Structure 1
Amino acid sequence: MASSDTQTGLDGVIAAAKAHTEKGQAPGRGLPPVHLWNPPHCGEIDIVIKRDGLWFHEGTPIGREALVRLFSTVLRKDPDGYHLVTPVEKMKITVEDAPFIAVRVDRVGETLKFLTNVGDEVEAGPDNAIRVEMDPKTGEPRPYLHVRRGLEALIARPVFYELVELAQERVTPEGPQLGVASNGAWYPVGPVGAHCL
């Protein structure tokens, strides 16, 4: 049987992610150090992360939650797009919007703590900003949370409702804004008086 250093393709991604997750390379989730790996580009793999956060392989949903979480640990955003990365190869995948979804938020003291659909626990703050874009097609807000190294989570609609409920008014150069504070940073979520959703 090949080692994780010599396996390639999808099996190689699975083997590398398992090997490095089990070693506990990073606190919390044992994230592999994908930012330190510089493997050759090996083409594309037919994996699509849909706008709703569901992962598909060759047109079929990946039903195993543990496998999706495993793949998420070796996901990296490079200037040319999103890739699954191992020490020996990187394969481009398609991400329709953000790779993750923020499915929960809790106010703990002065901190907003989020949980993503793949198990990441993220504290909003200077290193993990919240930003809100307006969807050019619908005119509705598209709120995002930075998770790690350029990877973002779309904040799910019910979670964004919670943020709006927590928001307080501030005067900004753009006029009065509703926003939320976390770890000493303040993030606007919409203009005062606007029905954000």
Structure 2
Amino acid sequence: MTSSPGSIIRMEDTLKAILPEGKFSGPPPPVEAWNPACSADIGMEIRADGRWWHDGGEIKRERLVKLFSRILRRDADGTTWLVTPYEKVIVHVADAPFLAVRVDRDGPPGPSQQLTFNTSLGDVTIAGPAAPIRVETDPETGEPSPYVLVRGRLEAKITRSVFYELVDLAEPDPDGRGLLGVWSQGQFFALGPAA
């Protein structure tokens, strides 16, 4: 995919759309509603360790990465984009676009507790019916890969240390399926077999 010839993207307009008040606070912009005609593949990627790269070089400016993370969108076909009202750029994602680096439990243990995850880029998501936790297991190694939904179709991979914290909070499955899992906002999320 390539940009339309002669397309001019005004940085000032783009930044106003992404950061209306010039701050990262507040909800992300409405990327689901933006459907620009111009698209491009310029070698953007997010590697499995959460680092962002462009055209073979790592993007080391944290503020720029945070800015980009606010305009990510994953479409139903699995394609991830950086989206502005004027153009969209494909992002090649090795695993998940975010890393969940912290979890906090609020409330008494059990169904009424709430698990709040923080990502390395400052996103906060509360696990529950609208933000499920899921665990994929490698069929060859048995290694778990846990994720939590952040927004839209974008997930954060739960880091190993945070997953261990979840395992410490785990309880037996209330339906007696031989699984251990955690509760958040009244929803039980299986982490793996009890044995």
Q: How high is the TM-score relative to the length of structure 2?
A: 0.86
Are residues 93 and 182 of structure 1, via their aligned partners in 2, closer, same or farther at CA, if it must alter by over 3 Å?
same
Identify the residue that residue 135 of structure 1 maps to in structure 2: 138
Taking the aligned partners of 1:80 and 1:180, their CA distance within structure 2 comes to: 27
Q: Does 2:183 align with 1:181?
A: yes
For these two proteins, the number of residue pairs brought into alignment is 182
Question: What is the one-letter code of the residue matched to 2:87?
Answer: E
Identify the residue that residue 162 of structure 1 maps to in structure 2: 165
Identify the residue that residue 151 of structure 1 maps to in structure 2: 154
What is the aligned-residue identity percentage? Answer: 46
What's the CA shift for 1:165?
Answer: 0.2
Structure 1, unmatched stretches of 5+, are 1-5
Matched-pair contact (CA < 8 Å) for 2:146–2:163: yes
Taking the aligned partners of 1:98 and 1:49, their CA distance within structure 2 comes to: 8
Are residues 52 and 192 of structure 1, via their aligned partners in 2, closer, same or farther at CA, if it must alter by over 3 Å?
same
Identify the residue that residue 40 of structure 1 maps to in structure 2: 37
Question: What is the one-letter code of the residue matched to 1:184?
Answer: G
Give the superposed CA RMSD.
2.2
Identify the residue that residue 99 of structure 1 maps to in structure 2: 97
Residues 140-185 of structure 1: CA distance to partner in whole angstroms, max 9, x if unpaired? 0000000001000000000000000000012547x31101000111
Identify the residue that residue 3 of structure 1 maps to in structure 2: none
Are residues 98 and 108 of structure 1, via their aligned partners in 2, closer, same or farther at CA, if it must alter by over 3 Å?
same
**Partner of residue 113 from structure 1, selected from 113, 116, 134:** 116
Taking the aligned partners of 1:160 and 1:117, their CA distance within structure 2 comes to: 15
Identify the residue that residue 61 of structure 1 maps to in structure 2: 58
Matched-pair contact (CA < 8 Å) for 1:48–1:57: yes
Matched-pair contact (CA < 8 Å) for 1:20–1:31: no
**Partner of residue 85 from structure 2, selected from 67, 84, 87:** 87
Taking the aligned partners of 1:137 and 1:62, their CA distance within structure 2 comes to: 34
Taking the aligned partners of 1:147 and 1:90, their CA distance within structure 2 comes to: 20
Residues 87-143 of structure 1: CA distance to partner in whole angstroms, max 9, x if unpaired? 011111100011000000000111000000111011000100000001245320000
Matched-pair contact (CA < 8 Å) for 1:77–1:149: yes
